[in-house]
Amino acid sequence: MKNNHHADFIGYLQKLVDNNKSGAVAALKRSLQSETTSQLAAYSYVVPFLPKDKRENDWAYFLVAGLFALHPDHRTIHPGDDPEKPKRIFNLGATCRSLGTEEENPTASWVLRFKALLDAEKDDVAHHLRGIVSLAASKNVAVNYIQLLTDLCNWSHRDKYVQLAMAREFWRLPEQENKKDENATV
């Protein structure tokens, strides 16, 4: 149910971009600023999609809307995945991995931001995500915004399973990917 709601929200954002609603897109981009007045302009686009029973996740919807406006390249399938094979989760860890690996450049901005993001509390997530998504935009790397919204809504879970899933995807060894693909076809 929740992923359908998240998919509907991302679909709505995609329509705003596709229909050249530049005023809406600009308002959503401005909502990334921390000022309350900047977020007011985005209310009419985001509030209709906010779950009535989960007010603590409102921040995630506003953040994802702003990030989507910043870089509207959304995909649920990782570009390297074979559409005939079962799909692995394409989360922000996969997006960052597509930018390059830590071994290639351990001091790259996305590596440092990604590590900081994994350790960040809810109030600090936006800062790190803006930088990561901006870099993804500059490198034409897609983001799975449905998964990102789902992950952000669960960011503060005590088990940190969202952060662990992202870390697993980012630091996955190439042989793990090949084994997983072989096991999926058996």
Model pLDDT for residues 64-80, shown as the tens digit of each residue? 999 999 999 988 765 56
CA angle 57, 127, 88 (to 5 degrees): 65
Q: Is residue 182 part of a domain?
A: no
> Into how many domains does the chain fold?
2
| Long-range contacts at 81-89 (CB < 8 A, ≥ 24 apart) | 82/181, 85/181, 85/184, 85/185, 86/184, 88/169, 88/180, 89/147, 89/165, 89/169
pLDDT at 1 over 50: no
Longest CA–CA span in the chain (Å) reads 55
Q: What sign does the CA torsion over 75, 170, 119, 89 have?
A: positive
- The parent domain of residue 135 ranges over 92-177
186 confidence band (pLDDT: 50, 70, 90): very low
Last residue of one domain, picked from the residues 70, 100, 122: 70
Q: Which amino acid is at 184?
A: A
Do 56 and 103 share a domain, yes or no? Answer: no
Q: Is residue 156 part of a domain?
A: yes
Do 65 and 96 share a domain, yes or no? Answer: no
Q: Which two tokens stand for residue 56?
A: 């603590």
What are 176's strand-pairing partners?
none
What number of residues does the chain have?
186
